[in-house]
Homo-oligomer: A and B are copies of this chain.
Amino acid sequence: MRKVAVVGAGHTKFGKRNAGWRDLVQEAGKLVFDSVDNLEPKDIESFFIGAAQPERFAFLTHVAPLAAEMLGITPSKIIARTELACASGQAAIRYAYASIAAGLTDIALVLGVEKMFMPDMMEAQSNMTCVLDREWDGVNGLSAPPFFALCAQRHMIEYGTTREQMAMVRVKNQKFASKNPLAQFSGKEFRVDDVVRSKPVSPPLCLLDCSGITDGAAALILVEESLAKKFTDAPMYIIGSGQASIGNLINGLPGLANWDACAIAAKEAYRMAGITPDDIDIAETHDCFTISEIIEYEELGFCKKGEGGKFIEEGQSDIGGKVAINTRGGLLGMGHPLGATALSQAIELFWQFRGEVPDYRYVDGAEIGLTHNLSGSASVHSILIYRRG
């Protein structure tokens, strides 16, 4: 299997953007080409776009050639769009990775994008109920916040996790987001009290426990290993991959407080990379809700099952702790433009490894990083492991 390197990255401002779907694509495109030496749009052989619901948020489909044209590229090897709800962007990176690893293409552009703000936000909300099983769960009120609230309730009952521990996840991630100009919710920090006393959404989760509706795009250039140094002195390599799904409908899930698919995916990714969870220096995990990050600490193997609450409370997921998690600000602080999130996570690792992030969030000496996305009712978990070049 051939090795794959990341050599360029472009990241738009996330937030409520006065920009259309096409604008976001072009903005990320310009940024990614500006980030790489010796690469022109005409050099892009293959194009992978991760986009969750342009069909409903923007009334657009067949978005791969649409975006390619907006970017001025003419792929002659592979072109496709991937959809995996909140992990659509990681699915695009994974398809590009598989294609380069196989030898089907050498140079690929991967772009993730979502335009989620709509004139009628009830429609946006309605679209989001499709991310779970709309016909069987959504119809009973199980959109994302109530579902993750059930997970939180179950985790509190089974493991004694506290309301405050969940709030601490937002406090930590907001601390990073507050100084990140690309974040939707930059410019302010929160205390535990702010989170706990924010507007109730679905008990125990309040507004500040939830990631936002967000517009944004981000892009990466992936190349076959031997080409990497042509484009940058500091590439990043993909060294592990894992993904699993073992149920979708809430009644088909193995549990609410335990996410077995996450553990299965993590095990495979660690096996492939030849490492253990202890080797991860920095991770971007899918904190769509505060409780998610706590359960992920456990399923990714950073702490024992049931000890995720203690892990955040002890500062183990902060810089200086066991593993620095969500230093860009997480989904909670950055916002969550579905198709773009995984790209944004990978870009944080890329910039960290290259020392291109500001001091306040720099993880000195980080060598190995992990990105994790869940999608739907935590029904699919998608993991990639990266190594500094």
* Residues on A facing B (Cβ under 8 Å): 1-2, 47, 52-53, 55-56, 59-66, 68-69, 74-85, 91, 94-95, 98-99, 101-104, 127, 130-135, 241-249, 252, 264-265, 268, 375-376, 379-380
Contacts and interface: CB of A to CB of B under 8 A. Distances in A.
B81 A82 contact: yes
B84 A80 contact: yes
Nearest to A73: B245
Given A1-B103, A131-B62, A81 B80 contact: no
Interface of A is mostly: mixed
Given A53-B55, A76-B268, 8 more contacts: A47-B245, A55-B130, A60-B130, A61-B83, A62-B131, A64-B83, A65-B376, A80-B91
Nearest to A272: B104
Contacts of A268: 76-77
B66 A133 contact: yes
Nearest to A4: B102
A387 to B, nearest CB: 17
A96 to B, nearest CB: 9
Contact of A74 (B101, B132, B246): B246
A252 B72 CA distance: 10
Contact of A59 (B65, B130, B243, B246): B130
B76 A264 contact: yes
Contact of A245 (B64, B95, B130, B264): B64
Given A69-B249, A82-B81, A83-B61, A74 B244 contact: yes
Given A80-B95, A246-B74, A64 B380 contact: yes
A76 B375 contact: no
Given A55-B55, A68-B248, A102-B102, A380 B79 contact: yes
